[in-house]
Amino acid sequence: MKFSGWPDTGELVVGKIDEIEDFGVFVDLEEYQDKRGLIHISEVASGWIKNVRDHVREGQIVVCKVLDVDESHEQIDLSLKDVNDHQRSDKIQDWKNEQKADNWMDLALEEDSDDEAYTAIANELIGVHGSLYNGFKQAAIHGAEALEATDLSEDEIDAIVETARENVSVPYVNVTGYVDLENPSPSGVDGIREALEAAEGNGGVPDEVELEVVYVGAPEYRIKVRAPNYKTAESQLEASASRAVEAIEEHGGDGEYHRERKSDDE
């Protein structure tokens, strides 16, 4: 997706070097429609420059800082030397991410969707999540909940969530805890089984969370949780253990949650 407006002064932009002259370098801005900037020779690199081509080449992708924008004269002044390696790396990664998200939009929308529909949906994602990529990322992690603040239709939200979960790679964390379950009451093993089913959520665990309860050694059971972040993982772990303890206590048994393993055997 290319923006139709103008970049802001101080903004970092991605461009492709189109033309090299003795006085400077012309750059086509990759993120803006029909926008071209100039890097004056003094902004190409620090120190004295004998030949501009010793520093840049046609077709090269560069990250520049916007020094000045004159819309009336359609002029954008850029600097290459004012961008450090860290800024360059981060900006290139953001740009690549947005290109991925642009492709995901094509997958999510109907084949006959027009540019107006594309722009409307993209603007909703950017408005709520700051970027197209982050909108898809949040949709992959949190599902439809991540898009509740948008004005998108239910069908549009479903399409974005489905596409996001098929294409977006999100980081996950793993946490482990343990619960001891004892049931001397007449319900015995059946009571334990119900407590374990409660720990597993009875189908109520969020889609982005993987939860597994494994027998370790009487009376200990291990709860494994895989989630997009530690806050969610810890919350789901504690909720799982709490459900198990409450369920076993309803049968007259005892339950205890702990983070470290107590049993001697795996």
**For the residues 66-88, what does the mean pLDDT come to?**
96
DSSP state of 15: E
Residue 136: the pLDDT is 95
Q: Is the pLDDT of residue 265 over 60?
A: no
**For the residues 109-127, what does the mean pLDDT come to?**
83
Which stretch of 27-41, 54-68, 224-238 has the lowest confidence by average pLDDT? 224-238
Q: Which domains does the chain have, with CATH numbers?
A: 12-83 (2.40.50.140), 86-167 (1.10.150), 173-258 (3.30.70.1130)
pTM above 0.85, yes or no: no
Q: pLDDT tens digits for 198-249?
A: 999 877 788 888 999 999 988 999 999 999 888 889 999 999 999 999 999 9
* More confident site: 116 or 133: 133
**For the residues 56-71, what does the mean pLDDT come to?**
97
Which stretch of 131-135, 137-141, 151-155, 178-182 has the lowest confidence by average pLDDT? 137-141
**Residue partners of 38: CB distance under 8 A and separation at least 6:** 24, 25, 26, 27, 75, 76, 77, 78
Long-range contacts of 197-204 (CB under 8 A, 24+ apart): 197/247, 198/243, 198/244, 198/246, 198/247, 199/223, 199/240, 199/241, 199/243, 199/244, 199/247, 200/240, 201/240, 201/243
Q: Is the pLDDT of residue 112 over 70?
A: no
> Which of helix, strand or coil describes residue 104?
helix
Residue 34, Ramachandran bin (φ over 0: left; ψ between -120 and 50: alpha; else beta): left
Q: Is the pLDDT of residue 113 over 70?
A: no
pLDDT band at 145 (very low <50, low <70, confident <90, very high): confident
For the chain, the distance separating the N- and C-terminal CA atoms, rounded to the nearest angstrom, is 53
Q: Is the pLDDT of residue 1 over 80?
A: no
Q: Is the pLDDT of residue 12 over 90?
A: yes
Which stretch of 31-45, 65-79, 92-106, 133-147 has the lowest confidence by average pLDDT? 133-147
pLDDT band at 266 (very low <50, low <70, confident <90, very high): very low
* More confident site: 85 or 115: 85
Q: Is the pLDDT of residue 176 over 80?
A: yes
**For the residues 102-127, what does the mean pLDDT come to?**
85
41 phi and psi angles, rounded to 5 deg? -55, -30
> Which of helix, strand or coil describes residue 95?
helix
Beta strands in 138-259 (DSSP E): 173-182, 210-217, 220-227, 254-258
pLDDT band at 264 (very low <50, low <70, confident <90, very high): low
Task: Please report, rounded to a whole number, the percentage of residues in the chain having pLDDT higher than 90.
Answer: 74
Task: Please report, rounded to a whole number, the percentage of residues in the chain having pLDDT higher than 70.
Answer: 97
